[in-house]
A and B are shown apart, each in its own frame.
Chain A
Amino acid sequence: MTATATPPAAPPRAPHGTPDAKRSRPRRQTGRHLFLAGVSLLWLIPLLWAMYTSLRPYEDTAANGYLSWPRSLSLQNFSDAWAQSGLVHFFWNSVLVTVPAVLGTLFFSAAVAFYVSRFDFRWNIALLMLFTAGNLLPAQVLITPLYRLYLQWNLPGFLSDSYLLYNSYWGIIAIHIAYQCGFCTFVLSNYMKTIPKEITEAALVDGAPVWRQFFQIVLPLCRPAFAALATLESIWIYNDFFWPLVLIETGDKRPVTSALASLQGEYFTNPNLIAAGALMTAIPTLIVYFALQRQFISGLTIGSGK
């Protein structure tokens, strides 16, 4: 890899190149800033437009159109959407599903990645491919049989008031974990391969059992990768509405994203209100993203630095 990149340079060019690059730097930076700021603004316009819509009273936009100067701006739509739709309840449903699903996914995929990347068993690659390919299956391929399976699967009453996996939080959590493990295993196994084998070798020689290597050495070293995956998985699982649509029967067990769809049906005539409701559902993922942002990028370093 390095060999091709560093042939000894033609000597006369080398000293010349560096100051030249330095001199032209400030100007280039301005251009780059202009470009990046432009793209950023372009990317934000749709979101800002939705924000603007949500801040305006429906009567105003109905009379003057959306592309008009506002007569007044207020947070009224937000408080109306909050009060009328019972969003709190649906937020709580989302939390009940998202938190265990993300934690479970991270733990189990770390286990599989640990197994696949730290031990040389014959079926390692096959196992890794089975997990990775599983995540890549289109969800539509699974729905019919999965729906049937969930209807047949009995659960004790204290786990599910439907006595079935169908229409229970556990069912949603289970499919999320099974489905998302593939992606996380792929990323984590690449990450774990970059941890020098000597570290666990040493522990093994010292007689540390495998579970200690896993919990006390490998897991803590993977913390950046966990931060990155936790961000992505929280966003994906929280935002998912496909599985609850198929596997949850009663509306009041649905997470906030699919509940919003029904809000959209109910208040179809007031897009400003729906805009406010929709923007509110984005708040939790925004919080997760901003909280973990610092580690997010560094953790995603998919083993490319080796």
Chain B
Amino acid sequence: MKRVPAPGAKINVTADGRHVDTANLGFTMSPHEECAVEAGAQLVEQHGGEATVLTLGPVEAEEQVRYAVSVGMQRGVVLPITDDDWDPQRTARAITAAVGELEAADGPFDLLLFGNESADSGGFQVGIRVAHALGRPMVNGAKGLTVADGVAHVEREADAGREAYELPLPAVVGVKEGLNLPRYPTMRGRLASKKAEVATIEPTGEPGGLVTDRLQSPPERVSQTVVLGHGPDAAPAVVDVLEEIGVL
């Protein structure tokens, strides 16, 4: 799960062009991962067992880890970093090592869930790299996920329609928003999240080959808005427009 700025209407960049200006932004879980957390909570409710939430990010990401505990995760792990964005190869190396460490202590996870892509960097690859490093099957973009008899049944949308996969466990699945409707924390959940122990694992991994030089806003599309009126009296003007552009 990745901590990302919760956007206002516009995302600005700092003066040096290297970072998102978060001065007026809060933080949140990246939306696809929010659904991955919900999926984890539901699977534990259905099958028993435990779900762990893991993040690589600034120490403040503990806030999102605790939130995940408040909505159904049992354990939390933070891989703290100080520079704000690790490239995907490095991120995947660190997560692979951390999963290895957790599995050495407690046995293998049946399922690793990732977001389809993180909302901010949109790299589409960390989960796939981790799956490959661990030698596990991986499908991205899940909009349906059930587990039975040692198999994860995954469905996703494609141009031609829905397609289904059956991955033998242990497996890795990349989740897309729309898989489920994430729940809100209950009072009990909030209390549990305050008490939960959040473990720290020092991230390891050589940097990969992608270095961000600069972020910028795309060119603004300026539009001269034609205000057709105020209130329902403007209905004829709206319908005139529909006739003009030929949809009526």
Do A and B share a complex?
no
Instruction: Give the A-binding residues of B (Cβ under 8 A).
Output: none
Instruction: Give the B-binding residues of A (Cβ under 8 A).
Output: none
